A and B are shown apart, each in its own frame.
Chain A
Amino acid sequence: MDSAAVFLQFALAGLTLGSVYGLVALGFTIVYRATDIINFGHGELFMLGGMITASLVGGGYPLPVSIVLALLTVALVAGLTERVALRFNRLASPVTVILATLAVGLIIRSSTLLILGKEPRYLEPFVGGTLAMLGAVISPQVFLVLFIAASAVVALEFFFNRTHLGLVMMAVSINREAAAIMGINVRSISLLAFVLSGMIGATAGIVVTPITTMTYSAGLAVGIKGFIAAAMGGMSSAPGAVVAGLLLGLIESFSAGYIASGLKGSLALLVGLGIILVRPAGLFGGRTPR
């Protein structure tokens, strides 16, 4: 392969990773918008989506059925997270929320290890064949991931700005008390936000499993990068989250490809953290986080 093909290969790998980070970041954004909190177990929902789908397919279920079952399970787990971790401390301090959601994440991760084991799980690509582009060999699955990330942003923008439920969620994020006084059931909005965010994260896990495989321990690193991307995007902007996610993915792919493969996501994480330190409101402006 010549250097242009290598470059293209790294770029596409970076965009794929970046789409995943973007989708996970969207989950953080949705929950933050509706509840002003961060779910530190969110990365585990990404992992759970991929692990359940791959295990069901491995057990002989058809792919669509497996995907639906995985999404429903993750929706349930996300809903339980909200009820259990936030139920008893509605006015809790951030530190309490961090610890409680971290604990739920730990329970999800170790239960997955116990039930599904530590071997990586595989899935056949949903779209078969390979594409050749400028000498680079690309799986069409990559474009599926990019397409899903793009449609998620469009759908969410539409949802938050054009639908009744989306506007209600926006109202809650702007002022909880005022929204509650206006008759909005703040508690169910918070539950809905967790479920929606979990299902988007799980979707990312499902579509990326054919490319990267999935293990019980994969959720944490992706969760960290998803949060960093969401923060870089200003924490409440869906397009910002996805753009920042793509940026992180590209930095990760190029630094692993051209500098040292052992770096993994470290350089991307440090760049992301640096940006957050310099611009706490995010690259694209937005609300200053508390």
Chain B
Amino acid sequence: MIRGKSGPIHLAVVSMGALAVFAAPLLAPNAYVIGVLILLGIYTILALGMSILFGFAGQISLGHAAFYGLGAYVSAVLTTATDTPFPFALVAGAVAAGVLGYFVGRPILHLAPFYLAMATLVVGEVAQVAFRELRPLTGGAQGLTNIPRPVIGGIPLDSNTAYYYIVAALAAGTFLFMRNLTGTDVGRALRSIKVDETAAASVGVDVVSYKARAFALSSALAGVAGVLYAHFARFISPDSFGLDLSISLLVGVVVGGSHRIAGALVGAIFLILLPEFLRAYGSLNEIAYGVILLVVVVIMPDGIVGFVERAVSAVARLSTRWRATRKSCG
């Protein structure tokens, strides 16, 4: 199931992770904490999507809120205006975001990094204007209310705990999918593009096609997260899908560590916990985002996970050296 890794330690980590995900809502003291856990699952999916694009293919996007929003609006409109069952709405949201991502990504991924960043900013800005202006569908600036909680197989998932398991299952599935993907030829092709586009192209990697597919996958995952958010919050408006979301998503992935799938998980936890800690300080929250992003980019470009990895290997080096010295002296 998981390629490239095995052994008792790895098995133990995976089973403990699975157990923690399963037991978390049972140990949560109240519904608010379960709500936070649901958001954590949603952000994990978002961050995993960003990590395939930014961490693996090395392409920046400052407009991912557009795809998150599209997923949310597609599913909200389908389930409120028609009687579409939740699983279909989920797929529709993901497909809509993925298809838009592909067709937006295909032309703009030709651009050099600075231009790509600006083009994706434009995508985000235009999408937010579209959410606001397509009033008959999106409800304009007031947004859409009374988005139903999903009903699956006739069972309504009204409680946060039930909804948590849906989100957790999708987040875990995404995580495993991404781990498998990194070991495949697609994952290797994407990493080769990040390291050197020209070299990748010279050995036969269709650079733009792979980049566009990574963008589409990343957008589709943002769409899934958007659907889950819409049916959790039960209310969406254009304000939920602005640039600040796109930037904090990038901050999360960079802070977590963009070169590892685990970094996305750390990033999602960071994104959920930071506002909880900074709540008391009001607008200092945003300043903190800025400062943290700056510090991470300047001082630890591989994020928390990369920092820990380097620390671990430094300690390992020290201990081998120490053992070697002891052997030669003794």
Chain A interface (Cβ < 8 Å from any Cβ of B): 37-38, 40, 84-85, 87-89, 93-96, 98-100, 102-107, 109-111, 113-114, 220-221, 224, 227-228, 231, 260, 262-266, 269-270, 272-273, 276-277, 280, 289-290
Contacts and interface: CB of A to CB of B under 8 A. Distances in A.
Nearest to B299: A88
Given A89-B298, A103-B293, 11 more contacts: A87-B298, A88-B298, A95-B113, A103-B297, A106-B289, A110-B284, A224-B125, A231-B118, A266-B129, A273-B119, A276-B111
B129 A264 contact: yes
B127 to A, nearest CB: 9
B200 interface: no
A98 B114 contact: yes
Given A84-B294, A110-B283, A289-B112, A277 B107 contact: yes
Q: Looking at chain A's contact residues, is the secondary structure mostly helix, strand, loop, or mixed?
A: helix
B286 A106 contact: yes
A40 B121 CA distance: 11
Nearest to A107: B290
A97 B291 CA distance: 15
B181 interface: no
Contacts of B113: 93-95, 98
A224 B287 contact: no
Interface string B117-128: 111011001100
B290 A103 contact: yes
Interface in B204-228: none
Interface in B41-81: 58, 60, 62
A221 to B, nearest CB: 7
Interface in B137-180: none
B132 A262 contact: yes
Q: Which of B126, B132, B247: most chain A Cβ within 10 A?
A: B126
Contacts of B115: 231, 276, 280, 289
Interface in B266-299: 283-287, 289-291, 293-294, 297-299
A228 B107 contact: no
A103 B248 CA distance: 10
Given A262-B133, A264-B129, A266-B129, A113 B286 contact: yes
A113 B128 CA distance: 22
Nearest to A41: B290
Contact of A277 (B110, B117, B247): B110
Interface of B: 58, 60, 62, 107-108, 110-115, 117-119, 121-122, 125-126, 129-130, 132-133, 243, 247, 250, 254, 283-287, 289-291, 293-294, 297-299, 301
20 contacts: A38-B114, A38-B118, A89-B297, A89-B298, A94-B113, A96-B297, A99-B293, A102-B247, A103-B291, A103-B297, A106-B287, A106-B290, A110-B286, A110-B289, A260-B133, A269-B125, A270-B126, A277-B110, A280-B111, A289-B115
Nearest to A261: B133
A263 B114 contact: no
Contact of A95 (B60, B287, B299): B60
B122 A99 contact: no
A262 B128 CA distance: 11
Contacts of B247: 102, 106
B177 to A, nearest CB: 25
Contact of B114 (A88, A104, A289): A289
B124 to A, nearest CB: 10
Q: Which of B133, B250, B298: most chain A Cβ within 10 A?
A: B298
A85 B294 contact: yes
Contacts of A260: 133
